[in-house]
Structure 1
Amino acid sequence: MTNAVPPTIDARHLLAFLGNVPFFHGKKLADEANAVVDVEFDESSGQIEGTVFAGGEDFSPMVQLRRGAAGWEIDSGECSCDTPGICPHIAALVLTSNKLSGLAKVATKMEEKVVTTWSKQADTWYAEREPRPSDGLVGSPNDPVVPMALQFLLFDAKNTTQQQQWMPTGKLPHATHRNRRFRLGVRPMVRNSEGRWVRGQLRWTTIGFKTFGWNLLRAQHHWFCRFAAMARSNTQTNFKTDEDWLFLDEYSSNLLWPLLDEAHELGIELIGTRNDLSVLVGGQSWTEMVADLDDEDNLQVHGILHAAGHDLTLEDYSPAGTIGDHGFYVQLEDPEQILIAPSLDRLSDKQLNWYDSHQRLQIPAADHQLFFDTEYPRMARTFGVRSISEALVFPELKPPFVRAKVDYKVEQTEEGSKESATLDFSISYPGVDDEHKPHDAEAEGFLRAAVNEVFEQVMGVGNPDLSPKFYSGEQMIAFVSDLVPALGALKTVKLEETGPRPVYRQLRELPKLKINAVDHERNDWLDLGLLISVGSHEVPFADIVKAMTNGAMKLKLPDNSWFSLDQPIFANLKALVDEAQALNDKPKDADLKLSVFQISLFEELDELAEGIDGADLFIGRMRSLLRVAEGGQASVPDTLQATLRPYQVDGFRWLARLFQGGFGGILADDMGLGKTLQTIALVLHAHQLWEDPEACAELPPAQRVRAPFLVVAPSSVVSNWEMEVRRFAPSLRVISIDSTLGDARQLRELAEGYDVVLTTYTLLRLNDEIYESQRFAGLILDEAQFVKNRSTKAHRTAVNLQTSFKLAVTGTPMENNLSELGALLSLTSPSLFMNVSRFNRQFARPIEVLGDKDTLALLQRRVKPFMLRRTKESVVLDLPAKQEQQVLVRLSDEHQHIYDTHLNRERQKILHLVEDLDKNRFTIFQSLTHLRMLALEPSLVDPELAEVPGSKLEALFDQLDDVLNEGHRALVFSQFTSYLKVLAGKLTARGIKFVYLDGSTRNRAEVIEQFKEGEAPLFLISLKAGGFGLNLTEADYCFLLDPWWNPAVEAQAIDRTHRIGQTRQVMVYRMISKETIEEKVVALQDSKRKLINTVMDEADGFSKALTAQDIRGLLE
């Protein structure tokens, strides 16, 4: 099909063709991202085709078009959904095609116009500029231009004649800010035809829209409009009082000064009310207060304005004032001028008050000292006073200081006296009462910084604003002992205390922990009371926890003695108590309760305490378990028909110690180290204990009664268990249950006649109530990863079985995440971590998500007594080497093309579905499996592709030729039985003998024996069916044809041959198809492998469960 630009189909025709419901459903699909893909239009045939993803499936609609009078029209349609008449997929295809048509047309037009567009844009740069409105005239262009001016008048509130002459109302408006004598007014003026400046009926309130026919320059007129608008920005300006004058005293915006500069540029004159009165705008100006002595030795204080080169002495009668808080004005006499100038800095209210009054202050000679003691400090700090007389020398100003007032209170209660204190601060200036004190910002900043530094050093928290403080309880210790003396030591602080200051005594003896233990109503629990003694004082640890939780660093006792909480024993003890209470779902203020399984917690408490009193039997049991890791001295039973290796002896003794203490555990030795043999030795040891009355009496009561051990294993492993029990422990009576039981009586009769009962996880699940009704000496869960999921019935049944000893046997206690390890521990050591959600919150999430190494170390300490793991590398020194190698297989061009085609299709579907991973998980993994099978062999997905050779099998035969020619034997694993059958067919065609095993194999034991004793060099094994429970050391080569998500499953498969008994080097080949999903699976394996190594082997690295982001990564 040729792919032309599709036509635009009239949506009304589509609606009429399909109907409302499929049309609008299709429109919704067309609006979704990537729901419609691969849209193609063949102009010669008039067909539109594409792929639509909907509801986790893909559909292939096709629309046949015909040419009509108005263009292309819909003739017919069909779809793989088999409902073409009401198909929403047809609507989605046509609507998406319309979108593509529109985009193509826009792109074409843009290409046609691109040259003309930039050319026209460049032409605009050279065009002649049209006159702007601001350049034109307000009136008629035929009339002469009328210049404008701003007129200034200094009003005197005492001059009524002046007011009557210049004010329309005949009265000066009241000053809105301060009661001033002088006011500086301004108004707009125009020059008439006679050359005189006149008002010309212009008013500030209407100047923006009433110009009374004056032919004004537009720029000047705009300037006056802005001048008036800026005056209105002061909400206190009221134009209704007078329309003629604006008063600059209240002009709040300091933009006045650049506006006046602009007036000069525009030719706007600044004029007075007389020809001989000019207006001058000066540069930055400032004022200062000076003092000198007159002839009669009176002290004279007055102000000076420094502006426009003038040093103007301000007298009581000086016509002067301020412009807002940003400028000054004054009327000069010689020459007659009104001088206005901006201030160097913004003026404070106090500076405004002084300048507006500009009074001269005269202090008689007799009052000089009084002035220096009272008024001068305030005046000097507020305005600054400079002496201009050599005879006048001002005294040095005393610096301000902080006044710290402390008020102590004592309240008598039944629990004793309770002290408290309030602390208030103020800044005072010598010689100045607080009501009229000045504010020296720099000096006060230094004072606050000094006090704040003391607060930070002593109390740990600053007080930069010198805010009031209240102290009580333990806070009083640091306040009285540290803060008050530190404040009093500052020269800038005056300390004033009211009430008696309390006296506190520090206890300097080292604190000691005493633990009182009481037996709990449940035998496996112990109640602990913690008591801290410091010298002769004893304190319940709950009081210390409460204080530390509140952030206290000291604890005050009723007799006002105290001791520091900043000591290692308290931090360590609190951490242990918090952990125990969290794991046991106990509130923070509750007594401490420990389970026998929380042995490492008990050990750390025991190390901190001087001693533990009470509950001797329980404590003896706990201390006995502390020696579990040391192996103990249990003798290997004489009835064991095998010689244990040294590490197996240690493992047996560890198991024996657990059993004798009534504890469960996890035997997590590496695969191939003889976990089954060690467990059989334990069963024999239990029988020896039962036969020895003295030894039996030392067992916990639940362990003294002889009963059979129940061993639960995968169906493929049960026969191996029976064989090894008969081989290594012939004295034990063993029975294998291979079918469902009728009732509990049948199981009871079997149990009475046998020492070991073997069954499968499937039968345990199906006969859960029957197994739960029978008491067993112990439960042994082989390949215990089968019950790693708490929500399964098999796990719940294992929890409910009547036995105090439960042992999980598995080389992979973790396959994906820490929750799996937690699930196994909840079986074997049920009260170690009481609550699943707390385990996840306290351990799993910090380790897996945050990589918290401290939490990881804590978890390993807690689990250590109940889990034993040894690797082959650490204990079997004579085990041959294992060489692992990745073989990257490049697909043939035809194979790669087929894979890429399917990848693109599946990628679109998966990326659409992955947004709701939980809902679409099954469909997503179907698609991922589809891609994995394509990476192996195209015919696994489409039988019609059987003629396309699979690249990986060709690479495998290249390897096998050398392996078989040299006389080696090999295990070949794949997760896909269909792939193994393809391989089997090709082996048969080549005449190569092989043995085959998958989940459907019934005579499993015979097939295994056929390989072990026969001559077939190859054993084809389904990964899940033969990945555990087999001992196949006859092979020394292992081929993994496809990677599996879980690296632990692959490791188990490899260890079928790399285990005790192997005498040759084992070669492992992992075959990976390049540039396919298999490379992504290997990367995902690596992340999971790091998590397992982290927890089990103390390596670095973390991981998480398969997420939507992981799935996206598989498709990159």
Structure 2
Amino acid sequence: MTESVPPTIDARHLLAFLGNVPFFYGKNLAAEANSVVDVEFDENIGQIEGTVTDSGEEFSPMIQVHLEGGEWKIESCECTCDAPGICSHIAALAITSNKIASQPRPLPVHEEKPDTVWSKQIDSWFEESEPGPADGLLGSQHDPVVPMALQFLLFDSKDATQQQQWMPTGTIPHPTRNKRFRLGVRPMVRNAEGRWVRGQLRWTTLGFKTYGWNLLRAQHHWFTRFASMARSDSQLQFKVDEDWLFLDEYASELLWPLLEQAGELGIALITTRSEQRVRIVDPASFSMQASLDEQQLQLDGVLHIAGQDLVLDPEAPSGVIAEHGFYAQMAQPDEIWLAPSTEPVPDAHRRWYIDRRPVTVPAPEINDFFESSYPRLARRFELRSVSDELVLPDLKPPYVHATVVYKREFNENKEPNDTAALDFQIRYPGIPSDQEVYDVEAEELLQAAVHEVFLEHEEAGNPNLSPKFYARDDTIDFVTEILPALERLPEVQLVEQGTRPTFRQLRELPQLKINAVNHERTDWLDLGLLITVGDHEVPFSQIVEAMSNGQMKLRLPDNTWFSLNHPMFAKLKALVDEAQAMNDKPKEGDLKLTVFQISMFEELDEMAEGIDGADLFIARMRSLLKVAEAHHAQVPNTLDAQLRPYQVEGFHWLSRLYEGGFGGILADDMGLGKTLQTIALMLHAHKLWADPEACAQLPAAQRTRLPFLVVAPSSVVSNWEMEINKFAPSLRVVSVEGTLPSPRQLQELAQDYDVILTTYTLLRLNDEIYEAQRFAGLILDEAQFVKNKSTKAHRTAVNLQTNFKLAVTGTPMENNLSELGALLSLVAPALFLNTTRFNRQFARPIEVLGDKETLALLQRRIKPFMLRRTKESVVLDLPAKQEQQILVRLSEEHQHVYDTHLNRERQKILHLVEDLDRNRFTIFQSLTHLRMLALEPSLVDPELSDIPGSKLEALFDQLDDVVGEGHRALIFSQFTSYLKVLADKLAERGVRFVYLDGNTRNRSKVIEQFKEGEAPLFLISLKAGGFGLNLTEADYCFLLDPWWNPAVEAQAIDRTHRIGQTRQVMVYRMISQGTIEEKVVALQESKRKLISTVMDEADGFSKALTAQDIRGLLE
């Protein structure tokens, strides 16, 4: 490309070709620093190119030009921005090209030596600044500078199409019309002869076409800004060349600092007459003055400017500059004054300048004027009296005009609904409501007064006096409270349309009456709830519906009403909601209870004035509630044992449940004699059957003498048989030790025996045979074996034919509330109806959200069906139990092996835990791997047998003292492989011990050996010996590894710390320091809190085991 100086394109042609909009945006873009660079012109092909940066993006516009009649013309153009038509980038290139063409070519720049670049850079910081865009000359520095001026000219006209210069009155008389003045301005330059001339300068082209005038950049820049400010309000268009710009429409308030800057830049403010001056004066204001004579009252406009009060008439040459200033042409001195306004000029003032005539009011109409027009004028204009005999009245304050429209509507049930629509309007006396008038301070006071009324009546209020609509019960509040308060406000004028409804409050205390009807299902009761207030009766279903809708009161058809803010309503609704949540087909306000929902019945019974109907059903439920007051059953004299006081209470509780046909959970602490209390109940049942009168009081299904079925783990069945034979020899007991070939065999046993013992395994295998037989009762010992509802054993227990089912377990909850819910579904099947509802209504809120109210509610609901006592609360003579943690530090080799495996397993588990349900087995397999490593490396890898486990060394230190001092100890571990390692080590040391795990065949013999003192140590696997054993001969207990579930550990400890123990029991939990075992102990604590919270009614909450818990184990 042959690079040449860009050509100069005529500004008129440039504007015509580009168009107004692209030219405007292109000019602004070109004015930005470094926005247009690399401008080049190829003279051979007539092509201008360059790079334009717009909003961070670069574009490459191109302009094709040619010579025509000695002038350069644009032939075509294009740009890489893909915008349709001519874009701002092309315009920016054209404007920049013209600018470059008007400047002298710079001298070639010699390349600086590398070693002087840094010094020149520093020197540049101290050089004089180069002239900016507002400095220097637009033309040659050798030509004389041409000063600029802003010329003012006052025009007056009849309309927008006819203008002429204003001359003093009398020169061009217009006796029949009013004057309309406009103040025009235009740019001027001083020619060589010293005269001010237009010099072809126009507002539309001033920014890019100066016709060769050698102008100061600063002055030229001022004029382009002046035009730009006018253009911003669309007053200056590029459609035609305009000589004059009229300040009347100059909307920007930047006019005033611009005029002030003009003097600083040497820009003269001139008029068309050399003797006339233009002066900027102090801020001015406009007012009206009133004068009175015998014939009329007259209002004139007054302009307060430069210390003078100019009474304005149609001939007065003055006007308004948009909303921010005034101008006036003075005769003496001969000047045009410009003044900013003291405050924004209202529309009314500008309209007066259009009319410009004084207002004359004939004397007979003066009173009408002050009544109808004066309030408007006085609020929009500053109004003064210039006649002594005319005293202007004070303005009346605004007021609130409140309109209320009443209507009565009816719903589909023909029930009335009174509504009230309230609307506010601030009005000014004497001013039509459709005319805008504002007194901000007065209106704020009015709004505050009305707003206070709403706040006093506990309503959000109307800080802006917006409309309000009241319906149903809200109408009561409005009519009885808010409306009277508004009427008492002197600032409010109330207008009512329609008939105001009247309401009367019922202030009597509400009373609950219950009508009970036996349900078609035997164990259900239908309850009709009726609320009586004064002499009005209301079904509670209406109250439930109203409260569900958020209503605070209930209106009756006769327009009486009563408040729903009564504690009984809230409590009653909570009961109804709870019952409906458990109901299969809930109905609004409908209440059905089962015999197992005793605590709910108790709460209803306490609130009700009386319950009518279903007398037998009601008596049955009340009998269970009043165990403490009712006649207690006598402990059978056929029981060969002396019951402790708490065991007598337990027997009373069991007998009351049995006599009422209810089941329950006997959840006493391990070692408190749950078996003995249950045996006493069996004897009591036989006593009832032997007494015809007492037997007749039993539920029909329990009047027939049948055997009790006791289901227990195989390890404790023999203990049941031994206990029954010992304490109740009158009961015939048989133990089923294998599968039954047919139902007939079980029927024969039922005829010959009073108690049938079997195991959970045999119950599962012979489910159909057991389900075909009726029993006097089902006793589920160690009932945690059926805590999983999905197991066959649980389903079989559900299906067994008996009215009375008793779960006997010291740990009805081992992990979560769902386990407790599963047991309750066995013994009290209609208490929560199904597990899904129990989990939704109780388990999740308590475990996940820690909801204390729901916890308290659950405790109330299960209280009649679960009895739990701890050893600490009932056995005063039980020796103390001391528990201690022993932290074992791993050896260096052992720790290294553990850490290596931990890092590997952590990565795997953290990946798998993202889908916990699918990968649960694999995750716990890895966790078990780490737990075994914390005990003994050889448990995981036999090749690591040369690395001794640190925990056994610590254990032997303890055992040496225990055995040496004649104590006896139980040693528990859940890993049988670890117990066998320990057994080998003890054998090597010559220490006597006995061993029990799930594979031990001679279980009874092993237990007897320890009881008889043949060995001081008893090695027991946690699952095989954690329950069903009485080993009070031991007074030391060692737990070698922590288990996830603290309840399992507690059962193990209670093998020795139970009734019959005479010595203090020492419990040692051995924890490998810095391993997963420490995390397991922390997890145990959270579960222990949950269990104690629900079972023992203490505070504290916990979550079920989650992915976060597992991550915590690996931290």
TM-score by length of 2: 0.82
RMSD: 3.3
Cα contact 1:290–1:388 (8 A) shared by 2: no
CA distance in 1, matches of 2:610, 2:724: 46
User: Partner of 2:457: helix, strand, or coil?
Assistant: helix
Q: Secondary structure at the match of 1:134?
A: coil
Shift of 1:601: 1.1
User: Partner of 2:391 in structure 1?
Assistant: 393
Matched residue, 1:363:
361
CA positional deviation for 1:655:
0.7
Q: Which amino acid aligns with 1:714?
A: P
1:774: Cα distance to partner? 2.5
Secondary structure of the residue aligned to 1:434 is: coil
CA deviations 1:242-297 (Å, max 9, x no partner) are: 444444433444444455555555555554444444444456x3524243425658
Change (3 A) 1:294 1:629: same
Q: How far off is 1:602 after superposition?
A: 0.8
CA deviation vs aligned residue, 1:813-871 (integer Å, no higher than 9, x gap): 22222222222222211211124343333323332333332222222111111111111
Distance 1:767 1:656 in 2: 30
Q: Quote the offset at 1:745 in angstroms.
A: 3.8
Measured against aligned partners, the alpha-carbon deviations of 1:654-682 in whole angstroms (never above 9, x if no partner) come to: 01100110111111111111112111211
* Equivalent residue, structure 1, for 2:108: none
Structure 1 residue 616: Cα displacement: 0.7
Question: Structure 2 vs 1, CA of residues 350 and 158 (structure 1 numbering), >3 Å: closer, same or farther?
Answer: closer
Q: Which residue of 2 aligns with 1:807?
A: 806
Tell which deviates more after alignment, 832-841 or 1069-1078: 832-841
Partner of 1:522: 521
**832 and 1049 in structure 1: CA distance in 2 versus 1, 3 angstrom threshold:** same
1:706-717 aligned within 5 A: 706-717=705-716
State the partner residue of 2:634: 635
Preserved contact between residue 155 and residue 165 of structure 2 (Cα < 8 Å): no
Shift of 1:586: 4.5
Indicate if the aligned counterparts of 2:227 and 2:236 stay in contact, CA closer than 8 A: no
AA in 2 matched with 1:401: Y
Is the Cα contact below 8 Å between 2:971 and 2:1039 reproduced in 1?
yes
Provide the rounded CA distance (Å) in 2 between the counterparts of 1:193 and 1:760.
127
Shift of 1:876: 0.3
SS of aligned partner of 1:435: coil
Separation in 2 of the partners of 1:694 and 1:161?
Answer: 121
Contact 2:202 2:241 in 1 (8 A): no
Distance 1:450 1:748 in 2: 88
2:732 matched residue in structure 1:
733
CA gap of 1:213–1:623, structure 2 versus 1, over 3 A, is same
> Offset of 1:359 from its aligned partner?
4.7
Q: Which of 282, 289, 292 is the aligned partner of 1:291?
A: 289
Q: Which residue of 2 aligns with 1:18?
A: none
Q: Secondary structure at the match of 1:405?
A: strand
Task: Show the counterpart of 1:35.
Answer: none
- Superimposed CA distance per residue, residues 292-347 of structure 1 (whole angstroms, 9 cap, x where no aligned partner): 42565854434444556555544434443444433444444444444444444444
Superposition deviation, residue 1064 in structure 1: 0.7
- Tell me the equivalent position of 1:992: 991
Shift of residue 946, structure 1, vs aligned partner: 2.0
Structure 1 residue 797 corresponds to structure 2 residue 801: no
Change (3 A) 1:241 1:705: farther
1:91 corresponds to: none
The answer to whether the 8 Å contact 2:284/2:306 transfers is: no
Question: What is aligned with 1:554?
Answer: 553
Partner of 1:512 in structure 2?
511
Q: Does 1:445 align with 2:447?
A: no
Q: Offset at 1:1090?
A: 1.6
Provide closer, same or farther for how the CA distance between residues 492 and 164 of structure 1 changes in structure 2, counting only shifts above 3 A.
Answer: closer
Counterpart of 1:1016 in structure 2: which amino acid?
A: A
* 2:69 match: none
Decide whether aligned partners of structure 1 residues 419 and 978 sit closer, same or farther in structure 2, where only a CA change above 3 A counts. Answer: same
Distance 1:380 1:636, change over 3 A: same
Label 1:1070 to 1:299 Cα distance change in 2 as closer, same or farther (>3 A): farther
In 2: Cα distance, 1:927 partner to 1:121 partner: 70
- Kept in 1, the 8 Å contact 2:235–2:250? The answer is no
Mapping 1:116-135, distance limit 5 Å: 127=125, 131=130, 134=133
Q: For the structure 1 residues 467 and 162, does the alpha-carbon distance in structure 2 shift closer, same or farther, using more than 3 Å as the test?
A: closer
Indicate the residue corresponding to 2:157 in structure 1.
157
Supply the AA of the counterpart residue of 2:691: D
Q: Which residue of 1 aligns with 2:865?
A: 866
Query: CA shift at 1:808, angstroms?
Result: 1.5
Q: Sort the Cα spacing of 1:518 and 1:631 in 2 relative to 1 into closer, same or farther, 3 A.
A: closer
Report the CA distance between 1:1002 and its aligned residue. 3.0
In the TM superposition, 1:62-77 aligns within 5 A as none
2:995 partner SS: strand
Mark the CA change 1:883 to 1:504 in structure 2 (over 3 Å): closer, same or farther.
Answer: same
Q: Are 1:407 and 1:422, in contact at CA under 8 Å, matched by a contact in 2? A: yes
For structure 2, the 5+ residue unaligned runs are: 1-116, 167-177
Say which is worse superposed, 672-681 or 490-499, in terms of deviation: 490-499
C-alpha separation in 2, matches of 1:527 and 1:121: 102
Between 1:288-297 and 1:1087-1096, the stretch displaced more is: 288-297
Q: Quote the Cα distance in structure 1 between the aligned partners of 2:278 and 2:1057.
A: 107
Cross-structure match for 1:40 = none
Partner of 2:764: 765
Q: Deviations over 1:528-547 (max 9, x none)?
A: 11112223222211122222
Provide Cα deviations, 1:586-609, integer angstroms capped at 9, x if missing partner: 535252111111111111111111
Moved more, 684-693 or 313-322: 313-322
Q: Return the offset for 1:517.
A: 0.6
What does residue 87 of structure 2 align with?
none
**2:157 touches 2:164 (CA, 8 Å); kept in 1?**
no
TM-score between the two structures when normalised by the length of structure 1: 0.82
Measure the CA separation in 1 of the matches of 2:427 and 2:652: 80
Q: Count residues in correspondence.
A: 985
| Aligned-partner residue type, residue 895 of structure 2 | Q
SS state of the match for residue 638, structure 1? Answer: coil
Q: Deviations over 1:364-418 (max 9, x none)?
A: 4443332222222222223343445554432222222222233444568985766
What is the CA–CA distance in structure 2 between the aligned matches of 1:986 and 1:224, rounded to whole Å? 106
Change (3 A) 1:971 1:434: same
Residue matched to 2:916: 917
Give the secondary-structure state (helix, strand or coil) at the position aligned to 1:986.
helix
CA contact (8 A) 1:137 1:215 kept: no
Question: Structure 1: 5+ residue runs without aligned partners?
Answer: 1-118, 167-178
Contact 2:576-2:590 within 8 A present in 1 as well = no
Instruction: Select the structure of larger CA radius of gyration.
Output: 2
Contact 2:204 2:237 in 1 (8 A): no
Structure 1 residue 688: Cα displacement: 1.7
Give distance in 2, aligned partners of 1:740 and 1:152. Answer: 122
Instruction: Provide the C-alpha distance between the structure 2 equivalents of 1:639 and 1:654, rounded to a whole number of angstroms.
Output: 19
Deviations 1:1012-1047 (A, max 9, x none): 223211122222222222211111111122222222
Deviation at 1:480, TM superposition (A): 2.7
SS in 2 for 1:436: coil
In structure 2, relative to structure 1, the CA distance for the partners of 1:433 and 1:897 (3 Å cut) is: same
State how far apart, in whole Å, the 2-side matches of 1:649 and 1:660 are.
16
Distance of 1:738 and 1:254 partners within structure 2: 106
Corresponding residue of 2:374: 376
1:108-142: per-residue Cα shift (whole Å, max 9, x none)?
A: xxxxxxxxxxx999988985678476367674554
SS at match of 2:133: helix
| Structure-2 separation of matches of 1:261 and 1:1026 | 102
Contact 2:137 2:216 in 1 (8 A): yes
1:519 is displaced (CA, Å) by 0.5
The alpha-carbon deviation at position 804 of structure 1 amounts to 1.9
CA distance in 1, matches of 2:146, 2:795: 103
How much has 1:1067 moved relative to structure 2?
A: 1.0
- Partner of residue 1001, structure 1: 1000
SS in structure 1 of the partner of residue 434 of structure 2: helix
**Cα distance in 1, alignment partners of residues 1078 and 630 from structure 2:** 44
Answering whether residue 722 of structure 2 is matched by residue 723 of structure 1, we say yes
Call closer, same or farther: CA 1:1069–1:492 in 2, change over 3 Å: same
Aligned to 1:301: 299
Q: How does 1:490-505 map to 2 (within 5 A)?
A: 490-505=489-504
